[in-house]
């Protein structure tokens, strides 16, 4: 099976709750490798750019404000079926509808403070990884092998 890479963001609510380590354990237990990570304070302009796809949604302004409200932890996950596996670990967008044992069911309180972001397709993953880690070659492991991240 193909090895994929996907972008994950632990959102401000989960960073504040001090559960970065617990969420990282879930990635590791699911055989997803954290191959790059950085803690970032997003500006509103950064958050707007990242979520541009949602700019016409009624929740867009609140989403941008929330993402820029406190630090977020951003990581690239690598492994078999990384994109869909990460989405399974995350659970549904609305934590109230998320399956028991998923990150959102366990750590999130509401649809607007829902603990975690994950790319929804390989194509989106490539764009989102480049947004935060422009130096990583999304499709090649040679960068990782050389330690040049």
Pick out the residues of the known binding site for ATP: 11, 59, 87, 93, 104, 114
Site for ligand ADP (CB under 6 A): how many residues?
Answer: 9
Out of 22, 25, 43, 93, the only residue in the binding site for ligand ADP (CB under 6 A) is 93
**Of the candidates 36, 115, 130, which has an alpha carbon nearest to the alpha carbon of residue 76?**
36
Out of 30, 46, 106, 112, the only residue in the binding site for ligand ADP (CB under 6 A) is 112
Which residues make up each annotated binding site? 11, 59, 87, 93, 104, 114
Please list the active-site residues: 117
Q: What residues numbered 28-47 form the site for ligand ADP, per CB under 6 A?
A: none
User: How long is the chain?
Assistant: 149
Q: Is 90 in contact with 108 (CB distance < 8 Å)?
A: no
What's the CA gap between 114 and 60, in Å, rounded? 14
Residue 142: C-alpha distances to residues 72, 73, 74, 80, 123 (Å):
27, 24, 21, 17, 20
What minimum distance in Å lies between the beta carbon of 120 and Mg ion?
5
Beta strands in the chain (DSSP E): 3-10, 33-40, 72-80, 116-118
What minimum distance in Å lies between the beta carbon of 142 and ligand ADP?
30
Q: Is 86 in contact with 26 (CB distance < 8 Å)?
A: no
Site membership for ligand ADP, residue 111 (CB under 6 A): yes
What minimum distance in Å lies between the beta carbon of 112 and ligand ADP?
4
Residues forming contacts to ligand ADP in the complex (CB under 6 A) are: 54, 59, 63, 93, 111-112, 114, 117, 120
Residues forming contacts to Mg ion in the complex (CB under 5 A) are: 120
């Amino acid at each position: 099976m193909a090895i994929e890479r996907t972008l994950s963001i632990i959102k401000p609510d989960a960073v504040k709750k001090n559960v970065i380590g617990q969420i990282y354990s879930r990635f590791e237990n699911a055989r997803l490798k954290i191959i790059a990570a950085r803690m970032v304070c997003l500006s509103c302009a950064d958050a707007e750019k990242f979520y541009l796809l949602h700019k016409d949604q009624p929740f867009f302004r609140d989403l941008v404000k929330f993402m820029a409200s406190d630090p977020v932890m951003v990581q690239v996950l690598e492994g078999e079926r990384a994109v869909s596996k990460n989405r399974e670990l995350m659970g549904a967008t609305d934590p109230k509808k998320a399956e028991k044992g998923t990150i959102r069911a366990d750590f999130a309180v509401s649809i607007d403070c829902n603990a975690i972001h994950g790319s929804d397709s390989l194509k989106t993953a490539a764009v989102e990884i480049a947004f935060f880690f422009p130096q990583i070659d999304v499709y090649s492991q040679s960068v990782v092998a050389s330690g040049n991240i």
